[in-house]
Amino acid sequence: MHQKQQYSQLIKQEAERLGFLSCGISKAGFLEEEAPRLEKWLKNNAHGEMKYMENHFDKRLDPTKLVDDAKSVVSLLYNYYPEKTQKDPEAPKISKYAYGKDYHHVIKSKLKELHHFILANIGEVGGRAFVDSAPVLDKAWAAKSGLGWIGKNANLIQKQTGSFFFIAELIIDLELQEDHATTDHCGKCTACLDACPTNAIVAPRVVDGSKCISYFTIELKDQIPSNMSGKFDNWMFGCDVCQDVCPWNRFSKAHNEPLFDPHPELLEMTKKDWEEITQDVFSKVFKGSAVKRTKFTGLQRNIKFLK
């Protein structure tokens, strides 16, 4: 067996042992197809006030500018689909990815373990781990390495498991055997475009971030524009509509990551509980959670906006 192939298999086996859903490999280099798309998206101001999206344009498109002598992008998926969801159908909703502990920390530590494994079993391999926290086009790399296709909702979709997973990368200076892109299986389906409450999916695979409920409830620091009133479908943090309606997500299976289990009280809270939430309850229910990003005042703003 060729050494590159052998190393690739070793890494994939360890990724599976660490609980990753799947692992794919691409050759590190400039993302030619993505460059004009990203440029157009930014020109159209689809990032709203997420000004950080304008930074590091060249690094976003070329991992060799992020990691010295980068040779391979190892893309990994980690399931977060919950076994149970919020009980009260009237309660304001939280995106499923934020039920448990902050994924940045959970997955980062697994990536570090994977890197340690590489050092111990392959040798001196330099690299960096990324979990949605640096200028890396996660979905483009995951699609390039055959982990799924980019759906019309601009999310990565996998036939066997749907799309409720996190994407992470290990960019390393080791040559590996690369995988190849898979085919698109959205067909004529437009479920996500039809269902988006704010019409944020402006064309297949193009989301105007500045119209997305997730943007308003998480990223936007100012008041939510009044013309959005009544359009939030009761989402107070994030939004899962374009994933919930996707036919491929009927194959989603519950994750088995205890750290992603919600605080016991979270799923039980009623509409009234949320409307009367205190700082103490917020701190307890969202200890170590990604919801901390909005802070208590932000979540309160979102809940009030839903009334």
pTM of the entire predicted model: 0.95
Residues 196, 157 share a domain: no
Q: How many domains does the chain have?
A: 2
- Residue 1 above 70 pLDDT? no
Residue 31 lies in a domain: yes
206 lies in the same domain as 120: no
Residues 168 and 195 in one domain: no
Tell me, yes or no, whether 124 and 222 share the same domain: no
pLDDT digits (tens, 9 = 90+) for 286-306: 999 999 999 999 999 999 999
Averaged pLDDT score across all residues of the chain: 96
Check whether residue 134 and residue 40 sit in a common domain. Answer: yes
Task: Please check whether residues 214 and 133 belong to one and the same domain.
Answer: no
pLDDT tens track for 70-120: 999 999 999 999 999 999 999 999 999 999 999 999 999 999 999 999 999
Q: Looking at residue 116, which CATH number applies to its domain?
A: 3.40.109
Domain of residue 204: give its range: 191-253+261-306
Same domain for 197 and 168: no
Annotated catalytic residue 132: yes
Residues 220 and 293 in one domain: yes
Identify whether residues 124 and 164 lie together within a single domain. Answer: yes
Confidence of residue 132 (pLDDT cuts 50, 70, 90): confident
65 within domain boundaries = yes
Last residue of a domain, one of 114, 143, 172: 172
From residue 19, give the alpha-carbon distance in Å to each of 76, 77, 90, 274: 10, 9, 34, 33
Catalytic residue among 62, 132, 244, 261: 132
Residues 206 and 64 placed together within one structural domain of the fold: no
Residues 159 and 237 in one domain: no
Region for residue 192 given its phi and psi (left: phi exceeds 0; alpha: psi -120 to 50; beta: otherwise):
alpha
Q: Is residue 184 domain-resident?
A: no
Long-range contacts of 32-40 (CB under 8 A, 24+ apart): 33/140, 34/61, 34/137, 34/140, 35/61, 38/137
Whether the CB-CB separation of 92 and 303 falls below 8 Å is answered with yes
Query: Alpha-carbon dihedral of residues 148, 159, 161, 213, nearest 10 degrees?
Result: 70
180 in a domain, yes or no? no
DSSP 96: G
Q: Provide the pLDDT for residue 20.
A: 98
Same domain for 33 and 137: yes
Tell me the β-bridge partners of 77.
Answer: 22, 167
Each residue of 190-214: pLDDT tens digit?
999 999 999 999 999 999 999 999 9
Identify whether 246 is part of a domain.
yes
Exposed/middle/buried for 178, CB within 10 Å: 0-12, 13-18, 19+? middle
Residue where a domain terminates, one of 137, 172, 207: 172
